[in-house]
Structure 1
Amino acid sequence: MEAARRLPVLSCAEAAAAEAAFIGTDKKLSWQLMRCASLGVAHEALTLLRRQPKRILILAGQGNNGADAFLAALYCAQPGTEMTVVFAGRRPIGAQALRAWSTKKRGVKIKYATAAKLPDLGRVKFCLIFDGIFGQGFHGPLSKDLGALLRNTEKLQGLRIAVDLPSGLGDDTRGPAFRADLTVSIGCLKRPLLEPSARKFTGRIRVLDIGLPLGETEEVSATEETLAPLRQIRRADADKRHQGRVLIIGGSETMPGAVLMNTRAALQSGAGLVTTCLPRSLRNKAALALPEAMWNPFATGTSGYISADALPSLRKSFPNKDVLLLGSGMGEKSAATLVKLVKRCDLSLVLDADALRPEIIQASAPTKIRVLLPHAGEFKRLSGHTMTPSAGRAYAKQTKTIVVLKGALTCVTDGVRTLHIPFGGPVLARGGSGDLLAGMVASVLARRTELKLTPLEAVELAVVWQGCAADILSRKQGEEAVRTTDLLSELSSALLS
């Protein structure tokens, strides 16, 4: 099977040069790419809006970014939609931009306003607001007039979509910029979007593949093609023992839920055999709730957390397993026991939550596959640094681990390559999402030989899978009235879509 397509992370200048080299003087190709980009932006906007727009505002520059925004708005519009265009400065120039602006749609009313009218437009409730002022061609600093224009956009009401980049961001500028709810980066992931200072402007980030022949770099953005190995039919002679044997050790008497979510996720994501070790007092209820798993009890101390007395029985669970997932819901008091446990474990390790401690990482064998899944606070505890892609890459290289940096734009790194995952979103911002991801990572990692994946590819697949399922859940049920475990019912949908 061919490797999944990934899109490189490029500077705006690199992206513009690659696009220009591909298009050359081919006007037909240029128009096709503009239409493809605009359709993709429109799709992402309507997916997030979840209804047909009645009023759309376009903030447009004179180049192709403004034309992209106009076409995207036109694709979103239906008969009866009112579109308002505000030009930031001069009117459009360039053959493709002029062609785009000459496009019409029956029943759609288009009116034009000057930038001076923006304060008045702040009283209008728009469904969609498209920012197409600059795109990747911006070089700062902002002029006084454009700075005032961007400040006036702050009070606009509606879902705010940045086409390619929020205007005001670029290779040499970090804002001020248009504040977007969604940024659709066209062709590849633009490096300015990854700057920590850009987060307050970008909103959620999506990367639109328009087919540019871009080579991979050491820093890339994943695509849905990552899921291809799970979209194949299973071998006719598939055996449960060859579909991943996952061992999960976790939980405490006061935090039983996390290890149950680990187990549910590992089962739902295809593991052939799942064995879960948890406190003795929880075993019977857990077995009734999830009969597909095997349940082994371990001893706890008077506080309800794992005790050193549990070690002999836990080590008996190691044989005939592929991966050990450790740490969920175990509590701070478990650290000393977990150090002793990993010292004599030769399984691939997935470490989460209470297993994410420097002494546990140091005690585990560096020759084995080790996957760490920290959020920002846990990464700070491990490394002493603020969580950024570059800090994560340095830590992964130092510790010879694969690190999943969980956040608004999750990334996966092995210290050499960094993979950004532009799927998922705020629907995952609830307790237990990380526990589900840990179970999925353990499951796919345990199956990596059968799926013909490297360890890094297996982890990437699990993270993309969760993100795509989260996007489907969000489309179906919104982002508010859902439970964390609702995500599991969409794992199949993500593979079948």
Structure 2
Amino acid sequence: MSQTTILSKKLVKSWIPKRKKESHKGDYGHTLILAGSQGMSGASVLAALGALRGGSGLVTVATPKSQQPILAKHLAPDALTLSLPETSQGSFSIKAIQMILPWMERRKIACLALGPGISRNSQTALFIKKLLFALDKNKGLVQGIVIDADGFLALNNGKGQSPLLEKISLPIIVTPHLGEMAKFCNVSKAQIEKDRVEFLKKFAKLYRVICVLKGYQTLISDGQKTYLNPTGNPGMARGGSGDVLTGLIAALISQMVSTKNCDKKELLLKAASLGVYLHGLSGDLAKKEKTEIGMIASDIAEYLPSAYKKVIHD
């Protein structure tokens, strides 16, 4: 692991966004989360909780029309919801592109998070691709993009490549776990595990993205700098944990992009690394009270304020 820097409390403390006394919600960014499908509304809720507890000034969750009432019930009064056109299977329809782009322009979105629970419906995958192409043509529309789960897999051409990622130039963070990375690249998990650091660096460099390879000792890389995360525990190995992380990283980007004269790539790398560290630390704090067996994904979001407190004040 000589090629990596191990994240520490001292290192990440300096990356936590500062808050001024004279400020308002607009100073801490508007995070938009595109998530959910029929039977997967929980992923939307967990991503939203990650963004809310992560500190975003405003959080809106856009979800397929049939899922919006479910979402509103679970997120009121803290987050906003937006219903978008859906397929017959209750996932995002290609028609959603006509609504979401003008909406984003009006609302001045700082960071877009997409992927949690969106399904692998072919029309939904097409929506994701068209959305990214549109954002590439309108680069000022969003300052950062976090792509997770089915959103990440939608970018693959089925042959272990992503012509889309090669063509576009956007401030993107992708957050696959080992299985998703293996599927995306059409390789075995064992091939990746032979040298996770080198594999990750090559992927990040090829597609010009920040890549978070989730798992035991999660790795974060921009193709040059690579960080290893020491926080976290086996109790976090359950459905929804990654959704919380997606929302958290997006919230950090939303708060950090207001920094003047910042290097965008460096900012994204710090946001991703800080998010991973806080996420794992929150899981460690939850473990103390809930145990590894009894803790659930929403506990990770619940303990995020305590994780912030531990890093800032201890």
TM-score bracket, normalised by the shorter chain, equals 0.7 to 0.9
Report the Cα distance in structure 2 between the residues aligned to 1:492 and 1:227, rounded to whole angstroms: 15
Paired with 1:279 and 1:231, the residues of 2 have a C-alpha distance of 33
Confirm or deny: 8 A CA contact 1:226 1:460 kept in the other structure. Answer: no
Q: 1:242 aligns with which of 27, 30, 33?
A: 27
Is 1:496 aligned with 2:309? Answer: yes
The answer to whether the 8 Å contact 2:15/2:270 transfers is no
- Seen in structure 2, the aligned counterparts of structure 1 residues 227 and 327 have a Cα distance that, compared at 3 Å, is same
Counterpart CA distance in 2 for 1:292 and 1:327 is 21
Deviation at 1:449, TM superposition (A): 3.0
Residues 227-253 of structure 1, C-alpha deviations (whole Å, 9 max, x = no match): 424767620112211202111111112
Equivalent runs, 1:267-306 vs 2, <5 Å: 267-290=52-75, 291-306=77-92
Separation in 2, partners of 1:343, 1:449: 22
CA distance, structure 1, for counterparts of residue 52 and residue 130 of structure 2:
28
Residues 362 and 274 of structure 1: CA distance in aligned 2, closer, same or farther (over 3 Å): farther
Q: Distance in 2 between matches of 1:389 and 1:481?
A: 32
Q: Does 1:416 align with 2:201?
A: no
SS of match in other structure, 2:103: coil
Q: 2:293 aligns with which of 476, 480, 488?
A: 480
Q: Specify which of 83, 88, 98 is matched with residue 312 of structure 1.
A: 98
Cα distance in structure 2, aligned partners of 1:415 and 1:339: 23
* Unmatched segments (≥5 aa) in structure 2: none
Letter in 2 for 1:355: G
1:254 is displaced (CA, Å) by 2.3
C-alpha distance in 2 between matches for 1:235 and 1:429 = 36
Residue 323 of structure 1 aligns with an amino acid whose one-letter code is: C
Deviations 1:68-98 (A, max 9, x none): xxxxxxxxxxxxxxxxxxxxxxxxxxxxxxx
CA distance 1:495–1:316, change in 2 (3 Å): same
2:171 and 2:6 map into 1 onto residues whose CA distance is: 23
Alpha-carbon distance in structure 1 between the residues aligned to 2:134 and 2:295: 41
Question: How far off its partner does 1:308 sit?
Answer: 1.4
Corresponding residue of 1:18? none
Does the Cα contact within 8 Å between 2:46 and 2:297 map onto a contact in 1? no
After superposition, the Cα gap between the structure-2 partners of 1:285 and 1:255, relative to the gap in structure 1 and judged at 3 Å, is: closer
2:17 and 2:184 mapped to 1: Cα distance?
38
User: Structure 1: any 5+ residue segments left out of the alignment?
Assistant: 1-8, 11-217
Distance 1:449 1:305, change over 3 A: closer
Partner residue in 2 for 1:462? 275
Among 237, 240, 248, the residue aligned to 1:429: 237
C-alpha separation in 2, matches of 1:317 and 1:328: 20
1:261 aligns to what?
Answer: 46
C-alpha deviations, 1:118-171, integer Å up to 9, x for none? xxxxxxxxxxxxxxxxxxxxxxxxxxxxxxxxxxxxxxxxxxxxxxxxxxxxxx
Q: Which of 338, 341, 355 is residue 128 of structure 2 equivalent to? A: 338
> Per the alignment, in what secondary structure is the counterpart of residue 447 of structure 1?
helix
Aligned length: 282
What CA distance in whole angstroms lies between the structure 2 residues aligned with 1:368 and 1:404? 16
1:466 & 1:266 partners in 2: Cα distance? 12
* CA distance in structure 2 between the partners assigned to 1:232 and 1:309 by the alignment: 36
Structure 2 residue 171 is the aligned partner of structure 1 residue 363: no
Instruction: Give the helix-richer structure, 1 or 2.
Output: 2
Which residue in 1 is equivalent to 2:146? 350
- After superposition, residues 215-234 of structure 1 pair within 5 angstroms as 218-229=3-14, 234=19
1:325 alignment partner, one of 109, 113, 116: 113
Separation of aligned partners in 1, 2:15 and 2:273: 13
Question: Residues of 2 paired with 1:488 and 1:284: CA distance?
Answer: 22
Q: Distance in 1 between matches of 2:58 and 2:50?
A: 12
- Indicate the percent of aligned positions where both proteins have the same amino acid: 27
Aligned amino acid, residue 316 of structure 1: P
- How far apart in 2 are the matches of 1:380 and 1:232? 34
Q: CA 1:270 to 1:303, structure 2 compared with 1: closer, same or farther past 3 Å?
A: same
Q: Could you give the per-residue CA deviations for residues 203-232 of structure 1, whole angstroms, max 9, x where no partner exists?
A: xxxxxxxxxxxxxxx521100124424767
Question: What does the per-residue CA deviation read over 1:5-38, in whole Å, with 9 as the maximum and x for residues that have no partner?
Answer: xxxx44xxxxxxxxxxxxxxxxxxxxxxxxxxxx
Contact 1:226 1:461 in 2 (8 A): no
Q: Distance in 1 between matches of 2:258 and 2:9?
A: 20
Q: How far 1:322 moved relative to its partner?
A: 1.2
Counterpart Cα distance in 2 of 1:285 and 1:252 = 11
Distance 1:230 1:454, change over 3 A: closer
TM-score (norm 2): 0.84
Give yes or no for the alignment of 1:377 onto 2:179.
yes
Q: Counterparts of 1:51-90 in structure 2 under 5 Å? A: none
Alpha-carbon distance, 1:441 to partner: 0.8
Query: Per the alignment, do residues 359 and 482 of structure 1 end up closer, same or farther by CA in structure 2, a change over 3 Å counting?
Result: closer
SS in 1 for 2:5: strand
Equivalent position amino acid for 2:131 in 1: L
Alpha-carbon contact 1:383-1:395 (below 8 Å) kept: no
Distance 2:183 2:152 in 1: 8
**CA contact 2:156–2:184 (8 Å) conserved in 1:** no
Output the CA distance in 2 between the equivalents of 1:302 and 1:425.
Answer: 39
- d(CA) in 2 for partners of 1:441, 1:330: 18
| Distance (whole Å) between structure 2 residues aligned to residue 446 and residue 362 of structure 1 | 28
Take 1:496 and 1:274, find their aligned partners in 2: how far apart are those partners?
22
How far, CA to CA, are the matches of 1:344 and 1:258 in structure 2? 25
TM-score for the superposition, normalised by structure 1? 0.54
Q: In structure 1, give the amino acid aligned to 2:145.
A: L
SS of 2:294 mapped into structure 1: coil
CA distance in structure 1 between the partners assigned to 2:203 and 2:43 by the alignment: 26
> 1:359 Cα shift?
4.0
